[in-house]
Homo-oligomer: A and B are copies of this chain.
Amino acid sequence: MTQTTTLNRQVQLAARPVGTPTAADFHLATTAVPVAGPGQLLLRTVYLSLDPYMRGRMSDAASYAASVAIGATMVGATVCRVQSSQHAGFAVGDWVLAYTGWQDYALSDGTGLTKLDPGLARPSYALGVLGMPGFTAYMGLLDIGAPKAGETVVVAAATGAVGSVVGQIAKLKGCRVVGIAGGADKCRSAVQELGFDACIDHHNPDLAALLAAACPKGIDVYFENVGGKVFDAVLPLLNTAARVPVCGLIAQYNATALPEGPDRSPLLMRTLLTKRIRMQGFIIFDDYGHRYPEFAKDMSQWLANGQIKFREDIVNGLENAPQAFIGLLEGKNFGKLIVRVAND
């Protein structure tokens, strides 16, 4: 089933997942394509970004952004073409970065849209290395992590949209970079394609020992994307005055209860105290929206120079978005996960 000009397919939230989301938590609905009124434009989705934070939107637990209501269309960033326009600022065929969610079409009054350069080689990069994930990697690493040349930086989800950029920027800054990823293929790619110094497979039961061996001088910056057993392996290796930007905790997003005891939060706090560690959560546009231009300038340059590489994992068809998203939470993607909603 492909995109048409007459129907608007929407992936709606059918039920709040208990633990791991399943196909039954999503519902593919079909409605009429809306019509742009005065001052409005109609957007046609070409690319939809799938990101771990969406798991939080499926839940009704309090978080930094509102939940998706049951029966509502799943939210998400998109790269769209303007399909029709009654808005003076946008013409038919314009590429825009939008937040129209898991659907084919959406109306807009132009608020929150970013026009994309029509000469962009890959418009989908606006959802990845030049968009939220890349910006997240850049600010989290450079502003909170503040790596210095010669320091050791560890990043989990090392071939993911954020982790792959974190590690490559850290290499540009002269650090030793150790990735953690799921599987031999991803680890090989992190070292051979992305230039990391080492990458450890978190499926290996000797994760803690392997990580320690890969970090002979300890860890100065740990960019936290995952939590869980990876963080457990990292914690004892953190150096005095280490920095831990907390960007994501994908290993615990599907959890339905806290892990069994003992309660290790006192151990975590003691480690922060005795090693003088800074641990800081951040939400990229809330904390750093005003610094987007410096990121865009640096990253465009690095991409143009071939200093940063970026891999996309593209899934075809909106109807495949739920399964792709479920796989994302299990680490099945290899690179930035994007749904190609329509050929263009």
Contacts and interface: CB of A to CB of B under 8 A. Distances in A.
A279 B266 CA distance: 13
A259 interface: yes
Nearest to A268: B265
A257 interface: yes
Given A280-B279, A281-B277, A266 B272 contact: no
A273 B258 contact: no
Copies in the complex: 2
19 contacts: A63-B274, A64-B274, A227-B266, A249-B273, A252-B270, A258-B261, A258-B262, A258-B266, A258-B267, A263-B263, A264-B264, A271-B281, A272-B281, A274-B281, A276-B280, A277-B281, A278-B279, A278-B281, A279-B280
A67 interface: no
Given A228-B266, A260-B261, 9 more contacts: A64-B276, A246-B273, A249-B269, A255-B266, A258-B263, A261-B261, A265-B268, A275-B281, A276-B286
Interface in A143-165: none
**Sorted from nearest, which 9 A-B pairs have the closest CB atoms?**
A261-B261, A258-B262, A273-B281, A272-B281, A278-B280, A259-B263, A265-B265, A264-B265, A246-B273
A90 interface: no
Interface string A216-254: 000000001001100100000000110000111100100
